[in-house]
Amino acid sequence: MKADRGTSASFASVFNIRHNWAHLAHRPGFQQPVIDGVRAIAVLWVVVLHVFFFHLWIFPAQANFMFTNPVTGWLVNGLLGVDLFFVISGFLIGSILFGEYREFGGIVFSRFYVRRFLRLIPVYTAVMLLGLYFLHEVPGMPKWLNAENSWTNILYVNDFLPVAKQYLGWCWSLAIEEQFYLLLPAFILIFIGLGKGRMRILVALMGLSLVIRYTVIHFSGIVPPYRFVALSPQWDRWFDVVYDKPWMRFGGLLAGATGAYLNTFFAPRLESFFANTTRVTLISIVCLAVMIHIAYTSMGSAFFDRIPYLARELWWTCVHDAFSLCAIFLILGAMHTPKLFGGMLARILSWEGFYPIAQISYSVYLVHEMIFMWLFPRLAPVFAPRLGPFGAMAAAGAIGLALVFCLASLLYVVIERPCMRMRSHPTVLGFIDFLRGESSEPQLEET
């Protein structure tokens, strides 16, 4: 079936700055507002964590206070924001691929990978080039900060390097997502072809995630509480062994993809399940309680001193997957339950202010750490004598956030949005046809 090219973007319109900027202010009808809210919360959580993380070497006592204080501990537990990213990535990409299979009986691999390339690589490449400036002279860091290994970023295998050797080390999560995208289309074709027992397969894979995590944690002996100094050899080992490897983190992506599978093929049954407001509210309260406990329990918490060693192993084994499963339940509840808790959550997550943050979240994630690493050591001597350590952190954080969001908005308007719109350009459609050796199917909108 030929693609409908009547609405294909012209080359000139693709780079229309006014149009691309306007897209940040007006949510299109096909956009899922609940997902926008989760994505915005995820990136804000990660960014706030790193505001304080990159002050640890400048004001160690004050920054550590923010990590250990019970009032602010949840605020800086932003590593859980990455779990939210994994969940919504699994949900969105799973929804696209499951939806394509349901509508057309198959998946066009060439279209999926070309569209992913245009969505991810151009702005990523631009940020890698920006990193040559911002990471050139960072106090206490190697010159260029591993730019010679940038080829691993392009190939999305940077997470297999030791963190001390990675270029743009925070982009390990992008590598895991891209590895997931590489495998997911083929997995879906095999998975759908199996017929019955699909949910048992998904449950078994989640169980496999827990088995792998426990095995690695148990035999490595890397068990909380973690009270080592950031970027120390002990911290590097924790990061390399139990944190940034795909076999340790695929549970969040799997949770999102499972939600997409249920939402695509069992929508009426989901509607019926979530229509029971009392049941859904009770489960939602349990999910929130689990997520709040995880968010308030920092890796160095005294909570771990009060529980047995095996319990500490099991807690760290389950923490990411439990958080992810609770998150996908709440997302589905917000999408399908119009009353009480689900309706309230949907209204919160659908706030219009979250939409532009969600749109630029990819660029924000790409640039924020290198801006903070470059900026904070330069601002500390200016603000600390006048405002004190906490005031200096607050002032530098505000300036850093402003720079990050301005730069991310610019990258979105000039690179991200044009490249996303290029996916419907006749040249790109023709290239996909060429790769397939036949006419392309109608396109599915992708965020």
For tokens 């929508």, name the residue. 267
3-state secondary structure of 146: coil
- H runs (alpha helix) in 59-197: 60-68, 79-104, 109-134, 150-154, 172-193
CB 264 within 8 A of CB 102: yes
CA distance 109 to 112: 5
Q: How many CA atoms lie within 13 A of 310 on its CB side?
A: 0
Rounded CA-CA distance 419/50 in Å is: 28
Determine the pLDDT at residue 12.
Answer: 65
| Distance (Å, whole) CA 360 – CA 88 | 15
Report the pLDDT value the prediction gives residue 396, as an integer from 0 to 100. Answer: 95
Max CA pair span of the chain: 68
Predicted local distance difference test score (pLDDT) of residue 342: 65
Angle, helices 277-296 vs 267-275, to 10°: value is: 90
pLDDT along the chain (447 residues), means of 10: 48 72 73 88 94 89 81 81 95 93 86 90 95 81 78 94 92 95 90 84 95 96 85 89 94 96 91 86 92 87 89 94 96 83 81 92 96 93 92 95 96 91 76 67 45
Which contacts of 313-317 are long-range, i.e. CB under 8 A and separated by 24 or more positions? 313/214, 313/217, 313/218, 313/223, 314/214, 315/224, 316/213, 316/217, 316/223, 316/224, 316/242, 317/210, 317/213, 317/214, 317/217
Q: Which amino acid, 423?
A: R
C-alpha to C-alpha distance for 243 and 233, rounded to whole angstroms: 14
Burial 45-57, CB ≥16 within 10 A → b, else e:
bbbbbbbbbbbbb
The secondary structure of 341-375 as a DSSP string is HHHHHHHHHT-TTHHHHHHTHHHHHHHHHHHHHHH
Q: What is the pLDDT of residue 440?
A: 44
CA angle 356, 42, 201 (to 5 degrees): 120
Q: What is the pLDDT of residue 8?
A: 53
Hey, where are the domains in the chain?
11-436
Q: With DSSP H G I counted as helix, E B as strand and the rest as coil, what are the percentages for the chain, rounded to 5?
A: 75, 0, 25
d(CA 426, CA 4): 10
Structure tokens at 249: 């983190």
DSSP 38-76: HHHHHHHHHHHHHHHHTTTTTSHHHHHHHHH-TTTTTTT
How many whole angstroms separate alpha carbon 73 and alpha carbon 167?
Answer: 29
- Please give the pLDDT value at position 381: 92
Q: Which pLDDT score, from 0 to 100, does residue 372 have?
A: 95
CA nearest neighbour of 248 among 431, 83, 45: 83
C-alpha 236/C-alpha 241 separation (Å) is 8
